[in-house]
Each structure stands twice: as C-alpha cells, then as structure tokens.
Amino acid sequence: MSEAATPVILAADSGLGGLTIVAEIRKAMPQARLAYLCDNAFFPYGTRPDAALLSHFLGVMNRAIERVRPDLVVTACNTISTICLPQLRAATSIPVVGVVPAIKPAAQQSRRKIIGLLATPATINRPYTDDLIQRYAADCTVLKVGSAELVQMAEVKLLGETVDRDRLRHILSPFFDRSAATQPDVIVLACTHFPLLRAEFQAVGPADVVWVDSGVAVARRVVDVLPLPRGSSIEADLALTSAACDPAMRRALAQFGLAEVETLPG
C-alpha cells in the first residue's frame, strides 16, 4: 500500500453497537477512511427471523457498497456475521471480515474454567456458537445469557439516557446468583453493543470478573486482510442510515467521528 493511498472500510450493524468495532479499527488504522452503516430501519437484528434478516441485509449492504465503494467490509455484529457471511461474500468481490464471540480468548484467560457468554438470543442459539464452544472451550463450563434488552439499553446510553442498573443486575443474575466458586471469572460480550455498557457491567458485577469482546481482534484482522485501495466515492468519514436519523442519533454518531450522515435511498 503506498503512503498516499487511503483505504476505505465500511462497517455495518443494525444500530449504534458496531461503533465499538469502528473505534478499534480507527485505533489500528488511523489513516483509513471509515464509513458506517447504521441499519436503523431493521433494529435490532437479534430479534429478526433469519430469512427476513438475510434478505434485508444483503439488499441494504448492496446499496451501501454502491454508495461508498469500500476496499473492505466489516459485518460489525455477531448476529449478522453468523447468518449472512457466506452469502455476502458470494455477492461481492470485496473482502468481508466478520465478528465472532471471543470464546477462545475467554477460555484461555479463565482461571476457574467457568466462562459466561452474554449475547443476543439469536447468537446464543446459533449452531455456529456451539461449534466455537466445542472447539475452544471444551474444558470450560459455559454459562449462557441471551438478552435483546441489553441492546436497547446500550443504544439509550449512547443517546444520552441513564442505564437502569437494577435491571442490569437482574439480567446478569444467572451469572452471579450462585456460589462464588461456580461464578464465571471471564464473560464474553458477544454483541457489539455490549462494550458500550462495560462501565455498568463492571459496576454491578464482581470486581474480579474480566469482560472480553472481539473489537481488538477484528481490527487486527482488518489490518491483515485489507487490500490495496481502489479509490472511493467518499471524501470523508461517513455514516449511512437506512431510516431517518434523529438528532440524538446524529450526536451519538458524531462522538465516533461520523459527523456527516446520509440516509440511503430505499
């Protein structure tokens, strides 16, 4: 890659959660130009039927790719990565990097060999997730908690509202309402929205719990596979939305350096 070249990376999620991946990519590749598809018309992905989600996502991603002409695409969502990666890769010649739950590093870090998996119900129930557990955490007890409500809580926090910590404790209770010896010491944040709640998780959970996510690993993968830039149609970092974007969402996007916002044509 020449010094003058500017790679363009397009990341996508149903709402604002994928911005946690954008932030890690920006740290790893400050020279890159970033575009982010906030697919707010279909938020949240984790509650959608697979067939409807697949059809919608391929359509909206095609429109985003036409607008941005990226050098690489990141499906910055565990749910969409476990459903759509093969089909998206078949539909485009652009390299696609997915997000998978950080089960392998969690299993490696756990001293008790008890880990927690915190995800959307869709990700919890995926055979893909079970395969990751069998491959990388077969020597661990894996406690699973699926919550779509946490996605909403992460969104409202980023939009400026206060998180209900009592409700958060209730959602996490299957991890911690048990004897200390049987509690997980590492918990996988297997939804890109959930790192937005890291401070709240740390506040309501035991002090010795480690909360791990995939952001840094995804950014490393982007650096490894990014091809030579081909030239893009965008001149600055850009957010794309699939439905109207209200002022609070615009402010949240701007916090991540995405002050320019466009709504994709239907």
Backbone phi and psi for residue 25, each to the nearest 5 degrees, phi listed first:
-65, -40
- Determine what percent of the chain falls in helix, strand and coil, rounding each to the nearest 5: 45, 15, 35
Check 77, 84, 140, 245 and give the catalytic one: 77
Q: In this structure, what DSSP letter does residue 47 have? A: G
For the chain, how many residues are written? Answer: 266
Q: Rounded to whole angstroms, how far apart are CA atoms 24 and 16?
A: 14
**77 in catalytic set:** yes
9 strand-pairing partners:
34, 72
Taking phi first (over 0 means left), then psi (-120 to 50 degrees means alpha), and beta for anything else, what does residue 133 get? Answer: alpha
Check 38, 84, 191, 245 and give the catalytic one: 191
206 upstream amide cis, omega within 30 of 0? no
Q: Rounded to whole angstroms, how far apart are CA atoms 166 and 49?
A: 30
**191 in catalytic set:** yes
- Whether the Cβ atoms of residue 64 and residue 240 lie closer than 8 Å to each other: yes
For residue 134, the SS3 value is: helix
- Whether the Cβ atoms of residue 30 and residue 224 lie closer than 8 Å to each other: no
Show contacts of 85-92: CB within 8 Å, 24+ apart. Answer: 87/54, 87/58, 88/57, 88/58, 88/61, 91/58, 91/62, 92/65
For residue 144, the SS3 value is: strand
Residues recognised as catalytic: 77, 191
